A and B are shown apart, each in its own frame.
Chain A
């Protein structure tokens, strides 16, 4: 009986976590009324990293800070800002880490150059091989 009581109490216990008690920011969980703008905001939010839960995008995360970031993104999109300008604003503050869409920079250019280099190498090797077969 006592065990049952403990279990029932545990079921209804409010979890005590490191979470705040404030309501979410205005547009954290509310879509923009204009579907085109909401689609724009959604596309951007899916490529921004949540800083609290780093393997999730802010579109995926329930962290309060991700909600605040979603609200900012939606409000800025509604105010007519360009998605890439918003991404740039965040990158200016948190570095490239905040974006899931890598930009070309002094650090990241090998990411973009390597596939081209490998393709060129493959072309050279294949050409040599075909030539050898042709001449034999």
Chain B
């Protein structure tokens, strides 16, 4: 038992610092969490999978509704999930207009929206959409793994989801989306 004495003393000295070390570790963890909060966006796990079968009524006058069949004509396009009641959806309008002007076909899905509100929204912010389907109970939104508005999906010519952009499209996102569209077309 005498032989073990120095070793246990040594261990006790080390144990003395353990609470401080634990506290330092905990403090570091809290600071990291404060300054670099975790990503709270829920990315779709449905990339690389085909769109589900759906057929949505027109969300407003002047544009047709949206059905799955449209996405299998061989041409890649953007699918924009938006709503008139969503503020960032208005913020991305110039970028959508720019994409539409560059020859990209953009189809929209309006989430839980009234026709008159969609019309007013398009009146205010411009209308880059070829077709707009009304998703009154978020059914298509849930079926493609979208967790909010706005979100933009790159769909290839066979109706397969190739890319998801979460949140409003900023100026710097436009080249990324164009590149993804090109990649989906090849």
Which residues from chain A sit less than 8 Å from chain B, CB to CB? Answer: 18-22, 25-26, 51-52, 54, 64-65, 68-69, 71-72, 90-95, 97-98
Contact = CB atoms under 8 A, between A and B. Distances in A.
Given A21-B85, A22-B113, A51 B137 contact: no
A71 B5 CA distance: 68
A18 B138 CA distance: 16
B147 A51 contact: yes
Given A51-B148, A93-B143, 12 more contacts: A20-B85, A26-B137, A54-B40, A54-B42, A68-B138, A68-B141, A72-B137, A90-B142, A92-B46, A93-B144, A94-B145, A95-B45
Nearest to A68: B138
B44 interface: yes
B163 to A, nearest CB: 16
B95 to A, nearest CB: 20
A68 B139 CA distance: 8
A20 B145 contact: no
Contacts of A91: 45
A74 to B, nearest CB: 12
Interface string B50-76: 000000000000000000000000000
Interface string B101-140: 0000000000111100100000000000000000011110
A72 B139 CA distance: 8
B158 to A, nearest CB: 19
Contact of A21 (B43, B87, B117, B139): B117
B137 A68 contact: yes
Contacts, number: 66
Interface of B: 40, 42-46, 83, 85-87, 111-114, 117, 136-139, 141-145, 147-148
A54 B46 CA distance: 20
B85 A98 contact: no
A95 B112 contact: no
Nearest to B89: A18
B18 to A, nearest CB: 19
Nearest to B110: A20
Nearest to A27: B137
Contacts of A19: 85
Contact of B85 (A18, A51, A54): A18
A20 B143 contact: no
